[in-house]
Amino acid sequence: SGIPVIKEPQFTMITKDINGSEGPVFDTKGRFYAVAPMEAADENREPGQFTDGIAGKLYQVDLDSGVKQVVWTPHFDGYGGRPAGCQSDHEDNIWIADMRLGLLKYNVEGNCKQFGKVDTDGEPLNGGNDLVFDRDGNLWFTGPGSPIAPSPEDRETIFTEPSGRIYCLPKGGEVPIKVDDNFMFCNGIAVSGNMLLVAETVKNQIIAYDITGPGKVKNRRLWAKVPKPAGNGGPDGMDFDETGRLLVANYGASHIEVYPPGGSQEPIVRLKCPFKTLSNLHFARNSNICYVTEHDNGGVWKFEWDCKGAPMYCDT
């Protein structure tokens, strides 16, 4: 394996001040959303609302003007959320992996839903971090750490103990299936054909599985190693391009790491970014323009890749 090629694309900032900027996504109408998991609740809120002060938000962003508006502040049974990953389905529902509330569905008409406080084993669901539909419409998501509210939030042992789990909500299902566990902060997740990839942030690696059915996998294996940042961080959100290469937001490392379709011990290309803490990326539909979220500025940026992104489930 050779030395990775370093490239420095031209990045353009779209907007900023989305606290903990994450979850960039397009619906089928071209509407763009991102989430702010780190936003706090209003000091003078009603008693019993946003009990622990957490009030993450879903934003819609106008990509021409950069103007952003809050379209949803998730709240269930007295608790707010920390929305992280987002995906759209064919009906333009935005499905959200939420670190406090698990798995959520936002509907433009306002018919929002929380899916399952427990998994099919009856165990409390871990908070969700990122998610992806396979080609059959099953929804796979990562649950890196502590159980959802009302359990107290844990932002420490989730990085030091292998408490991360992978889940799948079968198409049309109501209760997530626990697929696998024993991850050190499982984070980004991506699908290509019947291959499922999971970023294991703390171990700076990407794990692959073969999907054999809804909630069923085999052949867990190391697929890629990710360059370790100087401080905390590692592989975060990731997506495929149309040639089957994987683009990975390497949080804390100021680079998007690019891997060949079969994975590798190191990236083949490193894309240098004008920010350090990139959290996720998502291609515009049928386009080579890639949108990136980052925590330095709470920003959303765009750059041009050398080919189009792979179609997402909602594009097919």
CATH of the domain at 105: 2.120.10.30
Contact 24, 305 (CB under 8 A): no
Structural domain of 128: 5-315
pTM: 0.97
CB count, 10 Å around CB of 234? 26
pLDDT, residue 1, reads 56
Contact 288, 302 (CB under 8 A): no
Token readout for 47 is 């008693």
Contact 306, 288 (CB under 8 A): yes
Residues tagged active-site: 295
Contact 223, 266 (CB under 8 A): no
CA distance 195 to 207: 10
Give the pLDDT band (50/70/90) at residue 197: very high
For residue 129, which of 65, 70, 201, 55 has the smallest C-alpha distance? 201
Token readout for 298 is 């709470």
Give the pLDDT band (50/70/90) at residue 171: very high
23-33 per-position pLDDT tens digit: 999 999 999 99
Residues 129-156 have a mean pLDDT of 95
> Number of folded domains in the chain?
1
Beta strands in 122-233 (DSSP E): 131-133, 139-143, 164-169, 177-183, 186-192, 195-200, 205-213, 216-225
Residues 223-231 have a mean pLDDT of 96
